[in-house]
Amino acid sequence: MSPELQKVLSPTRLAGLELRNRVIKTATFEGMCPGGMPSDDLIRHHAGIARGGAGLTTVAYCGVSPDGLTFPDQMWLHEGVRNQLERLSAAVHAEGGALSAQLAHCGGFSRNRPRHIPRPRGPSVAVNQYGLLSGIPLTGAMGPADLRKTVAEYAAAATFAKEVGFDALEIHMGHGYLLSQFISPLINQRRDDYGGSLENRMRLPLEVLAAVRQAVGKDMPILAKLNLSDGCAGGLEIGEACQAAQLLERAGLDAIVMSGGLVSRSTMFLFRGDSPLPYMLPLEKNPLQRTAMKLFGPATMPSLPYRELYFLELARQMRQAVKLPLVYLGGVSSAQGMAQAMGEGFDFVAMGRALLNDSALLQRVAEQGEAWQSPCTHCNQCVASMNLPGGVRCTLNQPDAFARVVH
């Protein structure tokens, strides 16, 4: 076994947290919070990832407020979910793993009707593409009071996550959700101190980071998921992404999970492989939304060729720009890919689809060394399966998962 692969499998530390290896289960939305309540399926899912050996498993989309959800079947962090999350953290810890919460807010990208306000709010007035055909066509612009409230909500959510047993936090600054909306020059059209220059567009993300750090202290690791590129014309590109990373490093962030793409415009820039659209359409309950997906989905969600380590060229540029730990995400599907990520100077590898296919893949790597290759075909049916009863699963393991809805 190469030294680089041995490094992947060896214990390490992330800020004040001891991890048994350098593999992180990335935040992939589970679809296991019906009505916003964490289910026993969610507990079993992450406990299974921990049992399989991953060092850190990340619970996806932990909303910081009820107004920050893209749709009702997402969780937000409040007292009503305390018991289930305490059970979740205990289950992961019992398997020897560590647990991270992805703190998120949808901003102006939502099909959820916010409480007490007429429409979702983001950096600028815009068309709400996600809610357009659900009776929520517009996004409002956040005012000073909205910004202060949102920063406080992130801090409160972080405090709660620490109380219920999470070991680390990932602040979602990518994929076109609220903080990504502020960072992206395509979406942020403000003319005040929160828009224009990159320093201004990073103001809210940096305020959130400072508030979260104050809430949880210096020993709890705080990561951020940050786009290397928005993957569409006019969006964030790698040059400014590296400058954003430098600002986060100076502000005391512990690690960056490098990603890319906007859910609303360039979804497959993140996933690569086959489009899941044919499997998503039968599961869409809103007939208008389903029609729109048929008309516009092929343009926004086209199949893109998959290749291993598909973000490597962009990630190398960020590695040159900062010294803080970087988590390589994007097409890690073999032991050789893991080893190469270490050899390129990255500190951790994040995996999604491969771990959905086989939560015990690290045991295979330990047995097979560089010969291990994930069976994942990058069909991306798992993306659509988030909307099936019971949530996300690898359809290679359940080939009849879509039988009743597709055929």
Mind telling me the catalytic residues?
Answer: 177
E-strand ranges in 143-195 read 168-173
Q: Residue 402: CB partners within 8 Å, gap ≥ 6?
A: 279, 282, 381, 384, 385, 388, 395
Q: Residue 40: CB partners within 8 Å, gap ≥ 6?
A: none
Phi then psi for residue 187, to 5 deg, are -95, -40
Q: Is 169 helix (H, G, I), strand (E, B) or coil?
A: strand
Dihedral class, residue 163 (left if φ above 0, else alpha if ψ from -120 to 50, else beta)? alpha
- Which tokens is 389 given? 């009863």
Residue 133 one-letter amino acid:
L
| Cβ pair 203, 193 in contact under 8 A | yes
Q: Name residue 22's beta-bridge partners.
A: none
- Which tokens is 321 given? 């720009």
Quick one: CA torsion of 165, 169, 170, 172, rounded to 10 degrees?
90
| Cβ pair 10, 55 in contact under 8 A | no
| Cβ pair 36, 71 in contact under 8 A | no
Burial (0-12, 13-18, 19+ Cβ within 10 Å), 249: middle
Q: Is 203 helix (H, G, I), strand (E, B) or coil?
A: helix
Distance CA 98, CA 14 (A): 11
Q: Which of 394, 383, 335, 358 has its CA nearest to residue 7?
A: 335
Residue 262 CA to its chain's centroid (Å): 11
The DSSP secondary-structure symbol of 99 reads: E
